Amino acid sequence: MRQRLTYLSYGGLVGALVLLLASATPSLLPRGWFFQGVISGGAAAVGYALGVLITWLARFMVSRSEPWPKPQRFWWWALAFVAVFDAAVMFYWYVRWQNDLRDLMGVDRIGYSAIPKVLAVAFVAFPVLMAIGKFWGIGLRWVIALLRDLVPPRLATVVGGALVVALTVALVNGVLVENVMKVLNNSFAAANNETKADTSAPTSTLRSGGPGSTVSWDSLGREGRSNVADGPTVAQLTAFNGTPAMEPIRVYAGLDSAPDLGAIADAAVAELERTGGLKRKVIAVGSSTGSGWLNKAYIDSLEYMYNGDTALVSMQYSYLPSWISFLVDKERARQAGIQLFEAVSEKVREIPEAQRPKLVVFGESLGSFAGESPFGSIPTIAARTDGALFTGPTFNNQLWLDTTLDRDDGSPEVMPVWGKGKQVRFIADETDLGRPDAPWPGNRIVYIQHASDPITWWNPGLLFREPDWLKEPRGRDVLPAMHWIPVVSFLQVSADMAVAVNVPDTHGHHYLRAIPFSWAKILEPEGWTPEKTQRLVPLLKRDG
């Protein structure tokens, strides 16, 4: 056993144990045993690397002439005892914390039988990741050995380390990322050609891809076809409102509808003109996620509130789903948001002011990033639109970030108040629309953001800096037991993003109920009542 242990770093194992135990602490969203095992294994691998690095730095700084003493058998047994005892305690609490969080969000509990499953997955993930690190370390030592023939040993160590890190980053950002993105793009391009079940080409001239459309049904993409084919019928709208309804207009241009973003936006606007959308009471400019997805609750709500006298216009700018586009394709999202809004706004401004329809913008997640891109400030949104509604903003949303950082004194990051709430409100659910209790004149803007949404609160700064949303009083669906832990909290929230929509509405990245209440407050449609909003909520859905 002693010989086998010499292949492992004692300091590395201490670091691995510390981060393994820390990974059991609660994060924003519930985690099942498999997911927790992967997180724990990853945290242990990072901890091992940090432990090795700290040990190496200590030796490097002390510069001892004699060999560094190796831990005696007693210390190995002591570490093993501490590991077993502390792991039993921490993973007992893992189950307790997970069930508290699950009760808070209304999802099924887990049992203590999850603990051995978590540890089994972690003990598979840890050595795999550690082996990758070992190979990287072998390469580092080889480069340092080569340099020692040319420069002093310490300089060789520093220069060699810098070279290997730079080469690793270059390879990851260049060769690896480029090839992975090619594979992903080809894969999702194929998925884009598919059509969702129960989705068929429209027979109405008021839908893109239907009779007389200037863009083909096939060019709309998978999500675009769902967007135009879905929605309430004239009969459903009439029955709900008790008065004869109009057929809503839905126009859309897919990534294959035109050669570039500007042309795609122009194609969408051409469809808006063709269908008579510029003559409707409300034109809604919807900024989609990368693949073209739109939260249907936005569109359906407006169509019910205006009894069909609405026009949706949107476009696709990528084949990639939101989370990948968020990482690698933000500039295309920004440009798409600008191109589409400016093209629509130009047509609306040509209409005499007294006859102009209301112009609103909306978007969720990366769509909120694209949707706010045409505007430099909250007053600019209020000046150029008749209302805006964004859900689940990302940390890259510059306008959202600037407004949050500049929030009024005393208001928390998870629920900021800006400019005394005169133009914009930040809410977690519909009960927050009256916060603050102050006049809300003019054109209104709403951001809906859940305190438990990792898409909103993930940030690279989580690695080494405690965020305000954990320093300040917690949001209503964040456990008091969640605390910031360097590196670990970053890993946990990063993992949370993968399951952000797998929780009920009003939690995580699942937005629905607050959307119709927000539209009603933003636009105050004639004849619309709170009772109608309550009746509308059960009819809404996020996906087509």
> What is the DSSP secondary structure assignment for residue 265, as one 8-state letter?
H
Question: Given this model, what pLDDT does residue 6 score?
Answer: 47
> What is the DSSP secondary structure assignment for residue 392, as one 8-state letter?
S
User: Do residues 326 and 436 both lie within one domain?
Assistant: yes
User: Do residues 502 and 383 both lie within one domain?
Assistant: no
Structural domain contains residue 426: yes
CA distance 302 to 353: 22
Question: Given this model, what pLDDT does residue 476 score?
Answer: 93
User: Residues 221, 292: contact at Cβ < 8 Å?
Assistant: yes
Question: Given this model, what pLDDT does residue 71 score?
Answer: 80
Question: Given this model, what pLDDT does residue 235 score?
Answer: 97
CA distance 417 to 413: 9
User: Do residues 356 and 472 both lie within one domain?
Assistant: no
- Integer CA distances (angstroms), 147 to 61, 154, 166, 529, in order: 20, 10, 16, 76
Q: What are phi and psi of 320, to 5 degrees?
A: -80, 145
Question: Given this model, what pLDDT does residue 56 score?
Answer: 73
User: Do residues 130 and 233 both lie within one domain?
Assistant: no
Question: Given this model, what pLDDT does residue 164 score?
Answer: 59
Q: For the chain (length 544 residues), average pLDDT per consecutive 10?
A: 58 91 94 90 90 79 64 86 91 95 95 93 86 68 69 65 62 54 60 78 95 95 92 97 97 93 96 97 94 95 98 91 67 93 97 96 96 95 97 94 96 96 96 94 96 95 94 93 92 90 94 98 96 97 85
Question: Given this model, what pLDDT does residue 11 score?
Answer: 86
Structural domain contains residue 192: no
Structural domain contains residue 187: no
Structural domain contains residue 428: yes
User: Do residues 267 and 338 both lie within one domain?
Assistant: yes
User: Do residues 31 and 126 both lie within one domain?
Assistant: yes
Query: Count of domains in the chain?
Result: 2
User: Do residues 506 and 520 both lie within one domain?
Assistant: no
Structural domain contains residue 140: yes
- Taking residue 265's Cβ as centre, other Cβ atoms within 10 Å add up to 25
Question: Given this model, what pLDDT does residue 179 score?
Answer: 57
User: Do residues 224 and 94 both lie within one domain?
Assistant: no
User: Residues 517, 533: contact at Cβ < 8 Å?
Assistant: yes
- Integer-rounded Cα radius of gyration of the chain: 27
User: Do residues 425 and 498 both lie within one domain?
Assistant: no
Question: Given this model, what pLDDT does residue 505 score?
Answer: 95
User: Do residues 205 and 222 both lie within one domain?
Assistant: yes
CA distance 429 to 412: 16
User: Do residues 232 and 352 both lie within one domain?
Assistant: yes
- Burial code (b: 16+ CB inside 10 Å, e: under 16) for 496-519 equals bbebbbebebbbbbbbbbbbbbbb
Structural domain contains residue 207: yes
Report the predicted TM-score, pTM, of the whole model to 2 decimal places.
0.87
Structural domain contains residue 63: yes
Question: Given this model, what pLDDT does residue 61 score?
Answer: 72
User: Do residues 273 and 342 both lie within one domain?
Assistant: yes
Structural domain contains residue 154: no
> What is the DSSP secondary structure assignment for residue 439, as one 8-state letter?
-
Closest CA to 449 of 528, 507, 495, 397: 507
Residue 529 maps to which CATH number? 3.40.50
Domain limits at 382?
Answer: 201-393+419-450+513-539
Closest CA to 445 of 527, 528, 363: 363
